[in-house]
């Protein structure tokens, strides 16, 4: 059964206290500075950032601004120029914004409006390609938590598990990268793997905080971390990516930055050696469709080692 905590989709009150306690230490110091100084370029980014100021800094003024932005977003029609996948990703981010300012929203209005937005996307699910299917899973999970609807969460976990079944033991997601294609593609396989892994990481993190541990789900030892680890290697060696021809850092690096939020979440569940260089390059991480300021919410402080030497 669903057991949401309603502090934020992807973090707990303990994580807020952890960030406060280590405010003067990196990587938290840079994340707190980003939280205080960054000027968000759009209303969704602003709602998320102001909502984090409300939760982490107890700033009620910014909380009110975030709540107003969320209410406005809920009443605004979908952008007709956005793809179905982008609209799914935007709605998952809006679910996070709703959770951040939940105590400040009008209870008689926002839930029904959010439900209508989600349902209008589900009606069009036949438009979903493989990447969008992964994000439909995350939308089911996150909307289930926001609306306290166990059936939505369970639908999302069923799709999630089916996608895990598609992950090769080496880590690539066969339908995403085009493993059956005779000729290498032009980068779409890399983009799809990144988008699907991001959806899986967000879905696993949100569901786990609501009482359904999807990080622990695996088939034949294959889990969301298997697919995420596969991408870590190509951060430094894009030229070795086998599914698309002639990939370079000029193509892959903007994608790692665009979808950077997932790596702080992955690092809470993995100590893989490749994560350090990746995170050092990307921090502080702010990814509106990937959990927002995840360096603030998810970074860990390595324990100091004491000894004679």
Which CATH number do you get for residue 130? Answer: 1.50.10.100
pLDDT at 306: 42
Assigned domain for 307 exists: no
Domain membership flag for residue 71: yes
Domain-located, residue 112: yes
User: Would you say residue 18 lies in a domain?
Assistant: yes
Domain membership of residue 306 (yes or no) is no
For the chain, the domain total comes to: 1
For residue 33, give both structure tokens. 């500075």
| In a domain? residue 174 | yes
Low-confidence stretches of the chain (pLDDT < 50) are 305-309
Calpha distance 309→306 (Å, rounded): 8
Contact at 8 Å (CB) between 63 and 50?
Answer: yes
Residue 277's SS3 state is helix
pLDDT tens digits for 114-131? 999 999 999 999 889 999
Element at 155 (helix H, strand E): helix 150-164
In a domain, 6, yes or no: no
CA distance 76 to 88: 15
| DSSP letter (8 states) at residue 105 | S
Q: Which residues, in sequence order, are CB contacts of 22 under 8 Å at separation 6+?
A: 28, 301
- 201-221 confidence digits (pLDDT tens): 999 999 999 999 999 998 889
92/98 Cα distance (integer angstroms): 10
User: Is 7 domain-assigned?
Assistant: no
> Per the structure block, which two tokens stand in for 62?
């910014």
**Domain with 231 in it:** 13-298
How far apart CA 261 and CA 263 sit, in angstroms, is 6
């Amino acid at each position: 059964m669903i057991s949401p905590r309603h502090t934020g989709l992807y973090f707990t009150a303990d994580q807020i206290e952890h960030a406060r306690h280590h405010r003067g230490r990196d990587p938290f110091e840079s994340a707190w500075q980003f939280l205080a100084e960054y000027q968000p370029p759009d209303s969704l980014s602003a709602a998320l950032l102001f909502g984090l100021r409300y939760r982490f800094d107890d700033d009620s003024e910014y909380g009110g601004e975030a709540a107003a932005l969320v209410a406005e977003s809920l009443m605004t029609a979908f952008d007709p120029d956005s793809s179905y996948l982008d609209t799914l990703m935007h709605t998952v981010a809006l679910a996070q914004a709703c959770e951040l300012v939940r105590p400040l929203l009008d209870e008689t209005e926002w839930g029904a409006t959010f439900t209508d937005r989600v349902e209008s996307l589900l009606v069009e699910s036949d438009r979903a390609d493989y990447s969008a299917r992964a994000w439909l899973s995350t939308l089911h999970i996150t909307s289930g938590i926001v609306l306290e609807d166990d059936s939505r969460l369970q639908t999302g976990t069923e799709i999630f598990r089916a996608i895990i079944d598609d992950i090769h033991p080496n880590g690539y997601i066969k339908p995403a990268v085009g493993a059956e294609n005779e000729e290498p593609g032009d980068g779409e396989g890399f983009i799809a793997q990144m988008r699907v892994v991001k959806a899986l990481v967000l879905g696993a993190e949100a569901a786990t905080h609501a009482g359904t541990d999807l990080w622990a789900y695996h088939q034949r030892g294959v889990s969301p971390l298997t697919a995420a680890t596969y991408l870590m290697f190509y951060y430094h060696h894009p030229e070795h990516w086998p599914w698309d021809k002639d990939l370079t850092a000029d193509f892959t690096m903007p994608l790692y930055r665009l979808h950077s939020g997932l790596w702080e979440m992955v690092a809470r569940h993995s100590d893989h050696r490749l994560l350090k260089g990746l995170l050092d390059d990307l921090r502080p991480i702010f990814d509106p469709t990937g959990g927002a300021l995840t360096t603030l919410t998810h970074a860990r402080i390595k324990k100091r080692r004491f000894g004679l030497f």
